[in-house]
Amino acid sequence: MNREISTGVAVITGASRGLGEVLAHFLAGQGYHLILNARGGAALDAAVRSLAGYNVQVKAIAGDIAEPSTRRAIVQLARSLGSLDILINNASILGASPLVPLANHPLDALEDVYRANVIAPLALIQEALPLLKSNHGLVVNISSDAARGGYETWGGYGSSKAALDLISLTLANELKGEGVAVVTVDPGDMRTDMHQAAYLGEDISDRPMPDVTLPFWAWLFGQDRIAISGGRYQAQSEQWEAVNEAR
């Protein structure tokens, strides 16, 4: 059953460029008021300006999502707008660059990766949960094929995304009865700053731009939220919909 999209409030972390910025434009076009977060204030301000043509409110919270004060500010702003319908945990960090074998990965850098890619998304969900429950909201956690690939030198980033996958499925099982849906999405390889950082000095122009995922997002946000909860989806796959893994 398709869910009719209506005006609501969406939070997007890592929204100043790449996939986050594409999602901001898509949801603004669907009538969602936006709360955007990114670490870099100048880039975030530019992203906000690029959304000026939409008839929606766009608010920005610059800051590191790994910091509790940033998460509190985001949720307080959502509360002031009266709603939180979609929470997209898109912000993440790669870790050591250039990538290094897991056996040699600096442990302090690995702690930073887990803090940004695992703890921060969960903490933001926890902080936002009362609003998500009130609005039968949807949480979208951005994953990666590195979560399952076991690729050489991708162990730090990939293991953090594998942890996020399990957290997402567990939350989907726990929150389904309260009307909150949680999914993970692997957007696939894209031409982004993070992907370039993983391949320093290499030409990644053969990768598609993030807007290649737009047909998938149009599908996902049109679905009944609880019906898709617990799923892990691949935005560039020939078949987006995975078997629903929630139990």
In whole angstroms, what is the distance from residue 16 CA to residue 46 CA?
8
Residue 116: the pLDDT is 97
In whole angstroms, what is the distance from residue 205 CA to residue 176 CA?
41
Residue 3: the pLDDT is 40
Residue 194: the pLDDT is 61
Kindly list the structural domains of the chain, giving each domain's residue range(s) and its CATH number in brackets, ordered by start: 9-234 (3.40.50.720)
Task: Tell me which residues are annotated as active site.
Answer: 143-144, 157, 161
The values of phi and psi at residue 126, to 5°, are -60, -45
9-13: strand order across its sheet: 58-62, 33-38, 9-13, 86-89, 138-142, 181-186, 232-234
Residue 40: the pLDDT is 87
In this structure, are residues 228 and 8 in contact, taking their beta carbons and an 8 Å threshold? no
Cis peptide before 68 (omega within 30 of 0): no
In whole angstroms, what is the distance from residue 4 CA to residue 8 CA?
12
Axis crossing angle, helix 41-50 with helix 18-29, rounded to the nearest 10:
30
Taking only the tens of pLDDT, the chain with its 247 residues reads 334 445 799 999 999 989 999 999 999 999 999 999 999 889 999 999 999 999 999 999 999 999 999 999 999 999 999 999 999 999 999 888 788 999 999 999 999 999 999 999 999 999 999 999 999 999 999 999 888 988 888 899 999 999 999 999 999 999 999 999 999 999 877 555 665 555 556 655 666 678 889 999 999 999 999 999 999 999 887 766 654 444 4
Residue 28: the pLDDT is 97
